[in-house]
Structure 1
Amino acid sequence: MNNVKLPEIINQFVEYTNARSSKDFINLFTENAVLNDWGRIFKGRYSISEWNKNENIGKKSQFEILGNRKTSSNSWLVQIKVTGDGFNGTGPMEFTIVGNLISSIKILPD
């Protein structure tokens, strides 16, 4: 990956997950954001907060960015290492940013 400078919102996504700050985490998303977790679709902040509770911060996930590249004017592919009480391993996440918020995340198989 190219390891370009990431938008601060993506760094905050990692920071708030690692700090287990659910309130700050959910405020990173647009009201109508979409999170696609290997084909499971979560639409809107409420649905993403449920995913967060059951799959992310609720599982004590810890993220480490391993690499990244810009894929379009407002999208980045970020390789992330995940540890915790749920999924453990590495994989890509594709972030789309609108303004200063996350409008979508697609979690892809490695």
Structure 2
Amino acid sequence: MNRIQLPSTVPGFNRAGLAALLILTFLITWTVHSLQSPPASDGSTTTASPTTKDPTMTASPLPPVVATALAAANAHDTDAWLATFSPNGAVNDWGRGFTGHEAIRAWSDAEFIGVDVTLHVTQAHTTGDITTVLAQVGGNGFNGPSHFTFTVQGDQIILMRITA
């Protein structure tokens, strides 16, 4: 195994400090790179910004069921939002799972639509049955950027995963 040889002295840094700086530089570079949209040479759709008419829609169309779910969430219409999920659909909110309409409704009432969520889509990428949406979340709960990954089967959502 090859080892990276760090210089023994760099002005202002000891070896541990230099190693930490290199790791931090790598992590920042990796994070910035991972937030960039991948090239769409595989037939997928990628968007860089929402349209000015409707903040839930992006310049490239989202799968209809995903667009409907986002619009229903922004309209605070829990029934319309739940109707986009299959009967055994699930929400995974940072590792916490909620399966079936009843469990999803309870979660949403407490942490999503029930706290007046707003979702302003800033990017979206669809490949096959997976759509990842980066949205600026607002409302009376969590506020900030979040990724929503929708797995679609037919015309229903089978999983909505929420991550950073």
Q: Same fold by TM (over 0.5)? A: yes
Q: What's 2:102 paired with? A: 46
CA distance in 1, matches of 2:152, 2:73: 18
User: Do residues 75 (structure 1) and 154 (structure 2) align?
Assistant: no
Q: What's 1:61 paired with? A: 117
CA distance in 2, matches of 1:37, 1:99: 23
TM-score using structure 1 length: 0.93
TM-score using structure 2 length: 0.63
Percent identical pairs in the alignment equals 28
CA distance in 2, matches of 1:68, 1:57: 21
Q: What's 1:26 paired with? A: 82
Figure out how many residues of one structure are paired with residues of the other and give that number.
Answer: 108
Q: What's 2:152 paired with? A: 97
Provide runs of 4+ in structure 1 moved above 6 Å: none
* CA apart distance, 1:25: 1.0
Q: For residues 38-94 of structure 1, what are the alpha-carbon distances to aligned partners after superposition, in whole Å with 9 as ceiling and x for unaligned?
A: 011001111111111011110000111110112x41001110111000000011111
CA distance in 2, matches of 1:20, 1:7: 20
- Structure of higher RCO (CA pairs closer than 8 Å, 6+ residues apart): 1
Q: Normalized per residue, which structure has more strand?
A: 1
CA distance in 1, matches of 2:144, 2:160: 18
* CA apart distance, 1:5: 2.5
CA distance in 2, matches of 1:95, 1:51: 17
Structure 2 letter corresponding to 1:100: D
Judge conservation of contact 1:14–1:64 (CA < 8 Å) in 2: no
